[in-house]
Amino acid sequence: MKPKYSVIVPVFNEMECLEPLYSRMTAVMDQTGENWELILVNDGSTDGSPEKMDELARLDNRIRVIHFARNFGHQIAVTAGMDHALGDAVIIIDADLQDPPEVITELIQKWKEGYEVVYAVRENREGETWFKTKTAAMFYRLIYKITDVKIPIDTGDFRLIDRKVLSVMNTMREKHRFLRGMSAWIGYKQIGVPYNRASRYAGSTKYPLKKMVRLAWNAITGFSYVPLQIAMYLGFIVAGLSILLIPVVILIRLTTGRELMGQTTTLISTLFLGGVQLICLGILGEYLGRIYDEVKNRPLYVIREISKTIFDEEEKA
Ligand code: UDP
Ligand code: MG
């Protein structure tokens, strides 16, 4: 027997959220009248979350707990969940109850209508800082503009993915992952469902600015060459400007008899050019580093321990 639905939850220090998440999830998923499994991925938590997860798994044998050897990051944790999911459809949801489990009913509804990816679109965000909402809004619009695949605006990882799309996604082993982009890249019939993003049930965000920037940068470099093109445009602009300057200097010399002199001019132009070159080198370096990571081809994550579920046991029998 296989479960119909696999719910994947990445967990990084979410001790207080786990129990309410489990009870709300059970209420919603049991209503479907189908078999379902819950995959909890412990992304190297350092609070009481791992024990809590094991405890839940003992109580309910539809729960699989995957313990990572350390913190590998949210996108990787979800990837591990997708690798181990057995369902015909997988649902990705955050542990902090910002994505209400009740919305899953609507996602499943759309899936039954024949859509292969159903993503939840954030209409409203509660309890998040002005800075986070604004930067997120800017980020989604920027990504939409500059990437080649159309990644839906205001959409997180909260979504339902059909097995067909999942099988393709599981073959995409890129090291710097932006799952929303990857699922958009695959295609198939996709649709959005609007929802109100609640505030965190407990705890504080596990996405500090540093991780947000890293995710944004993965999205940009993973799905577009625009930064590299910017380097080229900068080159054209600087070269164009200096060519334009030549007749200007000659004109000044002929009409006023004065020369453009002084260390300042030289210094500024040298520093400007040096700066532009370093920026371009840095951009190149970012892509190079990513190529290096791909070539090393390390596994995406390391699992310390993984639990069995009812679906494994029956498999053997
Ligand atoms: N998370 C994770 N590993 C990390 C950071 C976050 O597994 O390194 C999980 C976290 O436990 C939560 C989800 O990813 O279930 C989203 O994180 P969070 O709610 O902190 O992000 P935000 O909603 O503030 O963007
Ligand atoms: Mg959250």
Q: What is the pLDDT of residue 315?
A: 57
Does residue 65 have a pLDDT over 60?
yes
Each residue's pLDDT tens digit, 179-215: 999 999 999 999 999 998 888 888 888 888 888 888 8
Which structure tokens are listed for 217?
């940068």
Residue closest to 94 by CA, chosen among 183, 186, 10, 162: 10
Q: Say if ligand 1 is within 6 A of residue 32 CB.
A: no
162 lines ligand 1 (CB under 6 A): no
Assess whether the C-beta atom of 11 lies below 6 angstroms from ligand 1: yes
Say which residue the tokens 């991780």 belong to. Answer: 211
Report the nearest atom of ligand 1 relative to the CA of 94: 15
Helix count and strand count (H, E) for the chain = 11, 8
ipTM, two decimals, is 0.95
Q: What is the pLDDT of residues 139-181, one digit of tens each?
A: 888 888 888 888 888 888 999 999 999 999 999 999 999 999 9
> What is the 8-class DSSP label of residue 154?
T
Atom 1 of ligand 1, residue of closest alpha carbon: 74
Asked if residue 68 has its Cβ within 6 Å of ligand 1, the reply is no
Question: Is residue 98 lining ligand 1, measured as CB closer than 6 Å?
Answer: yes
The answer to whether the beta carbons of residues 309 and 38 sit under 8 Å apart is: no
**Model confidence at 266, in pLDDT bands (50, 70, 90)?**
confident
Number of other CB atoms surrounding residue 259 within 10 Å: 9
Whole-number Å distance, alpha carbon 205 to ligand 1 midpoint, is 7
Cα–ligand 2 centroid distance for 303 (angstroms): 24
Asked whether residue 316 carries a pLDDT value surpassing 70, the answer given is no
**pLDDT score of 148:** 81
Output the CA 94–ligand 1 centroid distance in Å: 7
In this prediction, residues 127-131 reach a mean pLDDT of 82
The reply to whether ligand 1 has any atom less than 6 angstroms from the CB of 18 is no
Alpha carbons within 13 A on the beta-carbon side of 50: 16
- Is the beta carbon of 227 within 6 A of some atom in ligand 1? no
Dihedral-angle region of residue 223 (phi above 0 means left; psi in -120 to 50 means alpha; beta otherwise): alpha
Q: pLDDT-derived band of residue 268, with 50, 70 and 90 as boundaries? A: confident
pLDDT at res. 118 = 96
What are the C-alpha distances in Å from 152 to residues 78, 115, 308? 19, 15, 36
User: Is residue 74 within 6 Å of ligand 1 at its C-beta?
Assistant: yes
pLDDT of 232 reads: 87
pLDDT band, residue 317 (cuts 50/70/90): low
For the chain, give the mean pLDDT. Answer: 90
- For ligand 2, the distance from its centroid to the CA atom of residue 307, given in whole angstroms, is 25
Q: What is the CA radius of gyration of the chain?
A: 25
Is the shortest distance between the CB of 156 and ligand 1 below 6 Å?
no
205 CA to centre of ligand 2 in angstroms: 6
Residue to mutate (ligand 1; options 22, 94, 179; most atoms within 8 A of CB): 94
Q: Give the per-residue pLDDT at 314.
A: 64
**What is the pLDDT averaged over residues 73-90?**
96
Q: What is the pTM of this model?
A: 0.87
Per-residue pLDDT tens for 239-260?
898 889 888 888 888 898 877 6
Give the β-pairing of 190-197 and 36-42: unpaired
Query: What percent of the chain lies above the pLDDT cut of 90?
Result: 58
Determine if ligand 1 sits within 6 Å of the CB of residue 96: yes
Return the pLDDT at 264: 80
* Mutation test residue for ligand 1: of 8, 9, 12, the one with most atoms within 8 Å of CB: 12
Q: Which atom of ligand 1 is nearest to the CA of 204?
A: 20
